Structure 1
């Protein structure tokens, strides 16, 4: 059969008869409900049909249109791929308007399949047709997800391959949607077409193993960019091992396949998030190596790698120790499954380890240096997720000793807290904080905040119709004052006109808190809203979650350990905001349990020998009725323990910052942002409340004994130091500090 037989199975004419016919005929093959393929012979008087304008019975054919020339035997065909549209139907005529304005009519006849369309079953023309269809479908036609087209391409591949297809062998399952294949040798590296049963894709091959999308219990085809050797991916019905099972395999072939899979994952992970996740996940499931230190007191040197924690953004935090009184350690090399990197000892940031000094005080070859600990952040040290890291010590004798860290591929929140707890606050120098602690903590904290889930909201009672304010109370574990606080609200007529919103930041207490609040709601007949965070995200995130549920024009952020000293405490703050439009926020007088002053406005100071600004409160420790604390005035800031802010001003600056870990300095940060937006901050002494200070935060294991406060202070200082200096210069005359 020749290329000239384009009239379909019912009306086959010799090539000479076709050439003599008054009207050329084009074969037509529907590929799917959305795409159709035409094959035209040479049209007399029209050397290049691709330069013609096509018209059908319904008018000009709509783009996209794609042409491809193809030689079959001794004849030349012109292939046209187009979207199905009115006029492209068997029996219709196409009119080709050539560059010379000449009109050329071509009739359309449907053909049964690609072999009938081309008039040949030779692999070469069929493969050229297949590459043309699939390539254009994945390009200008964006039809890779068309299942009918994918099925048509699969039939065409089967016809082109015939007995010459080379089968691949499935080797392992790579997650729920991909398989590892062992491919026939000799395939070229680079892009191939993958013809699945329901979709078309391009995949880049780099060797004789490949991770390819799952195609289910159906065969699929790999089409190389050139040549006639297609690769058959047979239907997979047998149970396959996973990557971790390959890693545990004892035979050499399983280990080789696992190594090839790791290389494939490493190659593709930077551009394909799914491969990066698979790389991480199989690392997490791999059996951990035994933790190894070199710590015997009788040895002439010692070392340990206590932490090797990726920061989930390509960096790595290290903490360890070295005891080398005789200078035996000549080199340090950090090792992972993906490579090695040298660590100059001079790059290690050293800090005291009194425990090691004590432990090795009687060591026969010498004890530990006072600064035996080291920490380091390598910003690009972990481009790929490794579950465990090793540190190889090269000795002056040529021997080597390898240390193994505990598994460090942690959830971002756990990794953040591990780094913040890695060094005692007393030993954290500014350099160590700036270079080793702050960079990975900042990366991890941003990831934690970006991954916040939606909270659960429970409403109790009918909401207040037009609330004057919304009181937002974050709760974290400490419930000791909840009954007292809510009872004081219930006895205050002014609190009957506000929204009461409690935000639970310790979701493990959900049932206990809901039960308690429902009982208090029934007891006091106060409408309440309970917002339950999916994880502990800290004070700032809890305030945002509460503010999102508020309708009132004023927001009052109130700690759970703050209790009113008397009724009527809220009205003076609302009055100050109403009468002084310049005020964006106001704060009350806060008292210690013994009645002395805890807060009469917030200001900033620098401690002797310290570069960073600290937060402090005016008149702290003075008597309750200290005269200077009885005066309403503008102040540099107010505490977040009781922070009354206009909702409009809150929204204008984006609310309270969630960049601070757990809680600290976000209240003064909000004051400074309100000021930068043109607002002022006021102190209202006639609003009095007791503050049983820091009752919740001391229960937080990730904060109380960690570097979180130091980190937050450093972040606050870097962000606001010039503004604070100018602000405190204007408030230099304020006394009573």
Structure 2
């Protein structure tokens, strides 16, 4: 940056609309100016510019404004800023420091310019009489320092400039507390937005500072007051700053928890529990619980967190059946809870200020109160997502519950999970296949039962010697077991293998995408770990069909059950009278040689169990969508993306494989016992309903693509 100082301004020039030009051309923005009194009625005009050719000592600038005024400026050698301001009053010096610092942060984005910060720091020190102090009182996290500000600063939220020796920042503060995420601002200055008596000196700590947790354990009145003020300011900042929200969460998680409290005795005239109060990691809160009130005793429900209360209206609670409670209280002296005793609710902004543990205060019409205490609210996004998906039995989930209470927090949590993904580890077993014609990508989650059969079938087929084989392990705890098995198989078959190990189970779509990232062939075959070829020669019809039908971007084989009945002869969509579109397979359960299943044709979609796709088309549409949970509907989603991009999809019956269906997904208890399938189906329906309806209104004739026999 370049600072130009002009005593008295430029006669006849409107500085508010000034433009500059040098011999090198127009001076590029941004630029900003400020006039300050420097004594005896004299004004000093300061102009900030970005450093650029033509703006240096010895050059001349042409100055113009929008009113037609013009002048020229000869740039003289630099002199110190302090010398320009020797006779200026402290308020003017402070104004200059604030001008340079604020413009450096924005619009010049030079807040980390150490030379600029040092110059502003020197000015603030020059204007610092009488000096005011801010006192460091505690640490929050490793590097966030909490300062107690002078009493005369406005308690209302405001944003001020912070000038350190090496950097410049803007900081929000309120209630006499300031939080700065850098201890190196010690010895710096706070320039209050409202001006006042001068800068506030950020005094260095005189010794070790307590942590916020240590401050919380103080029992003296000043210490408790200091803690409450610091926690209140951290809470306020948490609502607008994700880093502060995380610090507040960490502090609350480490605080002692209250014991779980419920009212479950049969003899009581009412009862209830807050069974789940889960932070959705995006400012929202998911609640599940139950209330038993046969006599109508409950007057008001108030949700209580560590940092505030929220009165719940009865209409907010969405009720659902709890047969377990009906059975439990069948003989209760005051009556049954009724079949719909359960309640569920998602409050999108209730946890903007997080709480480690939530309570539900039940006020009775008599004036008495009972508090129901929930289990801990803050857990990992993965656990929170799976708990919400398992919160209600699938038969009891209505469309309203799904769309209002389940889908919003699950979407938020799943997004957090996927954003936190770490890169996989890649292990090469055997030499790299030169110029592979196809890349086989096999995602694995726990089920390794069929891998030896699959590998043996691949190794026995001469057509697959030029295939690249990539296994993606989505259950990393099996890494040693699987690598040992693959190395042993390579020693027998000499079939090279690439093993991609995911750091955690991110789901089918993410695993396939990780495998594709390692693939080099022009054609990809996404293959389930429980799919085994029915014989040799199955690959040639798939590749031959893609070669003979350029409009097709993906093809799928015939898949068989172990009893030789059909499992897949193309995928289509169907919809009940009420409900979401879901996937089905043509001729499922019919004999292997059912005549219609013997004819190649274009189909609405194909299953991800054996999905053969041109790599270019796959990459063009972004691969698999990863916002489905665990696995389901990613394959039809990919089909619909490929179709939306103009590609066709075909079924090739000459390629036959066995599919021992859904062997891996049944090993995922979070899937089989939860709403995951319902959630995925609803997400798929909301995204593609219109496209699916148009697709299924089309005619799908037999023999619509050429027949290609086995190789």
Is the shorter-chain TM-score for this pair beyond 0.5, marking a shared fold? yes
Give, in angstroms, the shift of residue 553 of structure 1. Answer: 2.1
Q: Find the residue that maps to 1:547 and give its secondary structure.
A: helix
Residues 525-564 of structure 1 aligned to structure 2 (within 5 Å): 525-564=494-533
Residue matched to 1:709: 677
2:371 is equivalent to residue 405 of structure 1: no
Larger mean CA deviation between 281-290 and 524-533 belongs to 281-290
Residues 3-18 of structure 1 aligned to structure 2 (within 5 Å): none
Residues 29-108 of structure 1 aligned to structure 2 (within 5 Å): 35=2, 38=5, 40=7, 68-80=34-46
2:182 is equivalent to residue 205 of structure 1: no
Residue matched to 1:161: 128
Contact 2:191-2:200 within 8 A present in 1 as well: yes
Distance 1:590 1:147, change over 3 A: same
Give, in angstroms, the shift of residue 471 of structure 1. Answer: 0.8
Choose the corresponding residue for 1:152, options 119, 122, 130.
119
2:210 is equivalent to residue 241 of structure 1: yes
Contact 2:302-2:312 within 8 A present in 1 as well: yes
2:531 is equivalent to residue 565 of structure 1: no
Distance 1:446 1:123, change over 3 A: closer
Contact 2:602-2:700 within 8 A present in 1 as well: no
Give, in angstroms, the shift of residue 445 of structure 1. Answer: 2.1
Which blocks of at least 5 consecutive residues in structure 1 are unaligned?
1-33
Quick one: distance in 1 between partners of 2:88 and 2:115?
22
Give, in angstroms, the shift of residue 406 of structure 1. Answer: 0.9
Quick one: distance in 1 between partners of 2:76 and 2:657?
91
Residue matched to 2:145: 179
Quick one: distance in 2 between partners of 1:455 and 1:47?
66
Distance 1:315 1:574, change over 3 A: same
Contact 1:49-1:96 within 8 A present in 2 as well: no
Residues 382-401 of structure 1 aligned to structure 2 (within 5 Å): 382-401=351-370
Quick one: distance in 2 between partners of 1:472 and 1:158?
65
Contact 2:4-2:48 within 8 A present in 1 as well: yes
Residues 304-703 of structure 1 aligned to structure 2 (within 5 Å): 304-606=273-575, 610-703=578-671
Quick one: distance in 2 between partners of 1:100 and 1:432?
68
TM-score, length of structure 2 as denominator length:
0.88
Which blocks of at least 5 consecutive residues in structure 2 are unaligned?
703-711
Which is higher, the Rg of structure 1 or of structure 2? 1
Q: Find the residue that maps to 2:331 and give its secondary structure.
A: coil
Give, in angstroms, the shift of residue 558 of structure 1. Answer: 0.8
Residue matched to 1:269: 238
Larger mean CA deviation between 629-638 and 689-698 belongs to 629-638
Quick one: distance in 2 between partners of 1:60 and 1:218?
41
Quick one: distance in 2 between partners of 1:62 and 1:442?
45
Quick one: distance in 2 between partners of 1:279 and 1:170?
18
Give, in angstroms, the shift of residue 302 of structure 1. Answer: 0.7
Contact 1:412-1:447 within 8 A present in 2 as well: yes
Q: Find the residue that maps to 2:159 and give its secondary structure.
A: strand
Distance 1:219 1:652, change over 3 A: closer
Contact 1:601-1:635 within 8 A present in 2 as well: yes
Distance 1:249 1:481, change over 3 A: farther
Give, in angstroms, the shift of residue 690 of structure 1. Answer: 1.7
2:155 is equivalent to residue 195 of structure 1: no
Give, in angstroms, the shift of residue 218 of structure 1. Answer: 4.5
Distance 1:437 1:70, change over 3 A: closer
Give, in angstroms, the shift of residue 393 of structure 1. Answer: 1.2
* 1:363-413 deviation digits (Å, cap 9, x = unpaired): 222233222212122233333322222111121211111111111222222
Quick one: distance in 2 between partners of 1:151 and 1:456?
46
Residue matched to 1:214: 182
Quick one: distance in 1 between partners of 2:456 and 2:241?
55
Contact 2:601-2:701 within 8 A present in 1 as well: no
Quick one: distance in 2 between partners of 1:438 and 1:49?
57
* 1:423-467 deviation digits (Å, cap 9, x = unpaired): 112222333223222222223223323333322222223322222
Distance 1:79 1:290, change over 3 A: same
Quick one: distance in 1 between partners of 2:467 and 2:488?
19
Distance 1:161 1:488, change over 3 A: same
* 1:292-330 deviation digits (Å, cap 9, x = unpaired): 111122211110011112223333221111111211112
Contact 2:285-2:350 within 8 A present in 1 as well: yes
Contact 1:474-1:543 within 8 A present in 2 as well: yes
Distance 1:134 1:635, change over 3 A: closer
Quick one: distance in 1 between partners of 2:583 and 2:28?
69
Give, in angstroms, the shift of residue 291 of structure 1. Answer: 1.6
2:693 is equivalent to residue 720 of structure 1: no
Quick one: distance in 1 between partners of 2:694 and 2:79?
83
Contact 1:36-1:81 within 8 A present in 2 as well: yes
Q: Find the residue that maps to 1:702 and give its secondary structure.
A: helix
Give, in angstroms, the shift of residue 165 of structure 1. Answer: 0.9
2:247 is equivalent to residue 278 of structure 1: yes
Contact 1:217-1:237 within 8 A present in 2 as well: no
Give, in angstroms, the shift of residue 237 of structure 1. Answer: 5.3
Larger mean CA deviation between 467-476 and 53-62 belongs to 53-62
- Report the aligned-residue RMSD: 3.4
* 1:131-181 deviation digits (Å, cap 9, x = unpaired): 34434444555443221232233233333324x212221111122332111
Larger mean CA deviation between 60-69 and 413-422 belongs to 60-69
Q: What is the number of equivalent residue pairs in this alignment?
A: 693
Give, in angstroms, the shift of residue 642 of structure 1. Answer: 1.2
